[in-house]
Amino acid sequence: MKMKDFYKKMCNVEIVFAIICLLSSVFIIVISAVMRTIGMPINWGLDIALLLFTWSTFLGADIAFRDDKFINIDILFLKMPKNLQKPLELVIYIIIFIFLSALIYLGAFLSVFTWPRTFQGIPALSYTWITLSVPVCSFLMIITTVIKMFKKFNVNAKRLTE
C-alpha cells in the first residue's frame, strides 16, 4: 500500500472517530439530562461526555487545518509583495510546527502526571485519557503541517498526497 493511500485511510478514520465522539458526547448528555429529570441520574455521563468532546475537538482541529477551514484573515498578507508571501508563509508553518511540538512534549508530560487522577464519577478511569488528546492530535497536526509545507514549497511533493 502506498503512503498516500495509508494517509487517506488514516484521515477517513480520523473523521469517523471525530464524528462518533461528538455524536456520542451529545447523546450521553441528552440521556443523562433525561435520566436526571426522571430521578435516576447517570453519575458518569458528564465525565464520559467530556472525554469524548475533548477528543472530537482536537481531532476536528486537525480536520479543519487539513481542509483549510480555519478562520483566516489574510487582508494584510495578500497586500504584501508576492516575493515576501512565500517566505512569510514558511515562517508561519515553522511557528505552527514549533508550537505543536511544544504541545506534544507538554501534553505527554501532563498525561504522565495525570495518570493517578481519576474522574469523579468513574474511579477506574484515569484522567490521562483526556489529556492524551493534546499530544496525539498535535502529532496528527504536525503531519498535516509537514504535508502542507511540502505541497506549498516543493512541486514534486504534491504527488505524495494527491
Using H for helix, E for strand and C for coil, what is the string for the chain? CCHHHHHHHHHHHHHHHHHHHHHHHHHHHHHHHHHHHCCCCCCCHHHHHHHHHHHHHHHHHHHHHHCCCCCCCCHHHHHCCHHHHHHHHHHHHHHHHHHHHHHHHHHHHHHHHCCCCECCCCCCCECHHHHCHHHHHHHHHHHHHHHHHHHHHCHHHHHHHC
pLDDT digits (tens, 9 = 90+) for 15-69: 999 999 999 999 999 999 999 999 998 888 888 999 999 999 999 999 999 998 8
Number of structural domains the chain divides into: 1
Phi, then psi, of 126 in degrees rounded to 5: -80, 145
pLDDT digits (tens, 9 = 90+) for 104-139: 999 999 999 988 888 776 888 888 999 999 999 999
Please report which confidence band the pLDDT of residue 156 belongs to, taking 50, 70 and 90 as the band edges: low
**Residue 44 belongs to domain spanning:** 3-161
